[in-house]
Structure 1
């Protein structure tokens, strides 16, 4: 009767997985989550029971064991049926908050089939690992005491599994993904020639190779608003925005790529612009047009933006496997640009800002050298969707004023650092902002920001606070399950409409850049007009984030 208990615990965790998290889930992902939760509950209970038996603690047998299992089964099954009955309503409540259509049917059977398949696969993998452990401990028991053989066998089994998964399957999968994303970088239309304008990267006069720039860089260079479009919107003369981008394939050395970017900036006159933005792209090299287009409209095109690619992988993968690449590249670029900028006369310097979204936000923060900039501070920074491990973001959160919410903290009365979301603008307090303005733009429903590794056993701080409008009020904490839910949310963070999850909306970029950079001749009326036009796709080069 003992194997029944692991099954019941697994069913209990599977039931808990039906509760809402940050990102709405469909049938497939809910099934995967339920199956993984069930497997985790089953495995951990089996481990506890094995430990219980190894300590020779008495166990119930016969009729007493049957009665105990029935006593446990009743509340577990009741919880399971309750969660199944409410699962559709929970998901639809979250979908309604994000403007998504409701799920018409619950698809309970399909979810159960996927969950069972996932559970069986993980169960078989668990049996194989257990078989390996038994083989090792029995061989070792021929030469050393049984207890020592068990401990050493467990250690060797863990090492072998780690080597096979991390250094074998994971690395092989990573190499395959890297090759796939690298190939995708060059899926551009063959009829798209290099820019004819000599001041654009990749042109015949540019040291940057058009062929090695990759699709994200080419799109960034080609698709921004023109001076004509900006002038038509603002009703006054405008300049052609400068966009400098160096692809990862240009050179294997991040220092060389950074040096090439600086060379191009000097060639095209980037340091002669009113606003200079040192940006770090996402893991794939993507530059969110919702951010850069809006900024260029605000400043009549008198903007230069520079970025260097450091990875081909999607941000969640690059966050785990290529962390140092992004940090090293951002640091190399910012150091060169800052040194050149700081050496310029005060009255000739452009206003210098740092920017990034997602993994680019983390790497950009890493390049923010407060000791280097203490005497000659930059003008500010806008970091959207800062990933949860970001050191500077965590330090700012730790300094938040007592009583301020974790999802939108107040730090030192907002004199230098502020936070904004789709429901809270940077200037909502009405207080003066300092000379250097640092803004974290984050949505409460963004798992890239609010993922918590300790959610395996401890409720995150933000879950104990009043829920933001884009977060389900039914969201609750369950050990193990919450961690799995947030992991699925992390992988699906950009599946939401713009304005939710990790998909930042152009209207929020407009509020953010307006507050951070204070464009000349810009007011609330102009901001609302730009939001309206961008929201309807009426402006050339102005798009919602995705």
Structure 2
């Protein structure tokens, strides 16, 4: 069955194998209960009946496998057509079935080996315990303890290995990246932040600041200034608070508080700052902008979530509070607009300083302390997103919730036919960019036992009509959505592309900015090469 993201045949083969093994385990448990009941009540089905039953089940299974493979190919191609992805070829269903069969055999062998090992342990414990009834339970508990301790040690070892590997990568630089000379950016000869301390993502971010020539190519003869980009890496200061303090001093040195807007920017796990969004904001304001961010991890977001949980929230709180404090000391008529930006894991840091007990209070905090926020692909567990979704107006879908008649917060789904909200949109504005086909805002463990809300009608743009919920299976398939979230093209999944232009021009449009300007900037940036991978 389809879910939010189209699946290639190797991914589907692995997921199908897992589903088969889960079904096999459930069936084996039911069979064990049936045999136990039969023995208790003295009822033993005839051997001929059992053979007919197994033959019937085998025939149904073969038909289901063949029909399911063909249906899967059709569903996937319909979804791929909508998203503009290449169709599966004719060999895909056969390859998928073959790959799934091999994976099932391998998993069954592993399961049988584990069962034999447990059986041997129980028999050994009975011999050693001289038939004591508690001996097997003690042995199994001891084995569970050993597995737990080994698991904890393995997790610690994996954390250290990942930190070492990605730490070494953080010390490197992308090909073609050179130290900037402009005093308006970190890492330059005038900067308070050494070039060597910025890390891989930080060096890329500051060295790719929009140039005067690029500004002129889009803005023409309009007044232009050099954009400010400030960044403090993991090695720029020892703690998050120290990095935030350094970033504020650097922001002041570079002239960031003299710009029209300052964007407090919470990066993803590796410290990645989304280039297309930064370019969009700088072009929108003709360079009269400042962006400031700090690094809180060298690990990719998926690793950071498990190995350094809560770090993005701490970084967002530290950086925003530090910038806000200096910003509030300026005369009111000389303050730039104070904005927030984050994508994916970074959105956790955007929401953290303002989270309260309910959506109205959280939104009130955000509106009172900022001039706008652009939140892209927020994670399922984000406190503010959870509140807005839970407290949305009846009838509004989970992929485009309407909160408080859209007075301050609105969701932009990327659907060209998204229903417009008629009520006035007050300033400051908060925009959530959230594709209906992006699994990040919707994935949860509760999909095991209840249908996720993205399956409700009306369904969002790009969500297949054929998608249905099945206990356990849907949750297993959702894992592949998380893994392949960036595989669709711009406008689907976790790929937001030129949506950033619409986002910024909606949150904080310059005076005189029009919808035609938005389209023109989208077309201009579409000719640049960007990568949504961190």
Normalised by the length of structure 1, the TM-score is 0.88
Paired residue for 2:13? Answer: 31
Cα distance change of structure 1 residues 144 and 296 upon mapping to structure 2, 3 Å threshold = farther
The farther-off stretch of 327-336 and 249-258 is 249-258
- Structure 1 contact 207–264 (Cα < 8 Å) conserved: yes
Q: CA deviation at 1:145?
A: 8.7
Paired residue for 2:518? Answer: 527
Paired residue for 1:488? Answer: 480
1:302 equivalent to 2:321? Answer no
Q: Distance in 2 between matches of 1:295 and 1:532?
A: 15
Paired residue for 1:381? Answer: 373
1:41 equivalent to 2:23? Answer yes
Paired residue for 1:322? Answer: 308
Report the secondary structure of 1:35's partner residue.
Answer: helix
- Structure 1 contact 216–287 (Cα < 8 Å) conserved: yes
Cα distance change of structure 1 residues 356 and 521 upon mapping to structure 2, 3 Å threshold = same
Q: CA deviation at 1:485?
A: 0.9
Q: Distance in 1 between matches of 2:419 and 2:465?
A: 27
In the alignment, which of 217, 226, 245 is matched to residue 211 of structure 2?
Answer: 226
Paired residue for 2:359? Answer: none
Paired residue for 1:458? Answer: 450
Paired residue for 1:6? Answer: none
**Over the residues paired in the alignment, what is the CA RMSD in angstroms?**
2.8
Counterparts of 1:170-209 in structure 2 under 5 Å? Answer: 170-188=155-173, 192-209=177-194
Report the secondary structure of 1:118's partner residue.
Answer: helix
The farther-off stretch of 108-117 and 445-454 is 108-117
Q: Distance in 2 between matches of 1:390 and 1:306?
A: 22
Q: CA deviation at 1:171?
A: 4.1
Any stretches of 5+ residues in structure 2 without a counterpart? Answer: 357-361
- Structure 1 contact 227–240 (Cα < 8 Å) conserved: yes
In the alignment, which of 330, 334, 338 is matched to residue 344 of structure 1?
Answer: 330
- Structure 2 contact 371–427 (Cα < 8 Å) conserved: yes
- Structure 2 contact 174–204 (Cα < 8 Å) conserved: no
- Structure 2 contact 218–524 (Cα < 8 Å) conserved: no
Paired residue for 1:361? Answer: 347
- Structure 1 contact 293–543 (Cα < 8 Å) conserved: no
Q: Distance in 2 between matches of 1:430 and 1:64?
A: 66
Q: Deviations over 1:392-426 (max 9, x none)?
A: 11111011000111111111100122111111699
Q: Deviations over 1:244-298 (max 9, x none)?
A: 1111233442222222111211211212211111111112221112211111111
- Structure 1 contact 498–545 (Cα < 8 Å) conserved: no
Report the secondary structure of 1:478's partner residue.
Answer: coil
Paired residue for 2:115? Answer: 130
In the alignment, which of 260, 277, 282 is matched to residue 263 of structure 2?
Answer: 277
Report the secondary structure of 1:449's partner residue.
Answer: coil
Cα distance change of structure 1 residues 92 and 158 upon mapping to structure 2, 3 Å threshold = farther
Cα distance change of structure 1 residues 353 and 150 upon mapping to structure 2, 3 Å threshold = farther
- Structure 1 contact 138–149 (Cα < 8 Å) conserved: no
- Structure 2 contact 184–229 (Cα < 8 Å) conserved: no
Q: CA deviation at 1:196?
A: 1.7
In the alignment, which of 461, 470, 479 is matched to residue 462 of structure 2?
Answer: 470
Report the secondary structure of 1:243's partner residue.
Answer: strand
- Structure 2 contact 13–97 (Cα < 8 Å) conserved: yes
Paired residues in the alignment total 522
The farther-off stretch of 105-114 and 453-462 is 105-114
Normalised by the length of structure 2, the TM-score is 0.89
Q: CA deviation at 1:524?
A: 1.0
Q: CA deviation at 1:239?
A: 1.2
Q: Distance in 2 between matches of 1:30 and 1:67?
A: 31
In the alignment, which of 495, 500, 509 is matched to residue 509 of structure 1?
Answer: 500
Counterparts of 1:60-459 in structure 2 under 5 Å? Answer: 61=45, 62-138=47-123, 141=126, 143=129, 155-168=141-154, 170-188=155-173, 192-235=177-220, 236-368=222-354, 373=365, 376-423=368-415, 428-459=420-451
Cα distance change of structure 1 residues 124 and 402 upon mapping to structure 2, 3 Å threshold = same
Any stretches of 5+ residues in structure 1 without a counterpart? Answer: 1-18
Q: Distance in 2 between matches of 1:338 and 1:45?
A: 59
Cα distance change of structure 1 residues 266 and 181 upon mapping to structure 2, 3 Å threshold = same
Report the secondary structure of 2:432's partner residue.
Answer: strand
Q: Distance in 2 between matches of 1:219 and 1:284?
A: 12
The farther-off stretch of 350-359 and 465-474 is 465-474
Q: Distance in 1 between matches of 2:253 and 2:40?
A: 77
- Structure 1 contact 342–376 (Cα < 8 Å) conserved: no
Q: Deviations over 1:409-450 (max 9, x none)?
A: 111100122111111699932432123322211111111122
Q: Distance in 1 between matches of 2:170 and 2:219?
A: 35
Q: Distance in 1 between matches of 2:409 and 2:267?
A: 22
Q: CA deviation at 1:190?
A: 7.6
Q: Deviations over 1:10-52 (max 9, x none)?
A: xxxxxxxxx2221111121111111222222223333444466
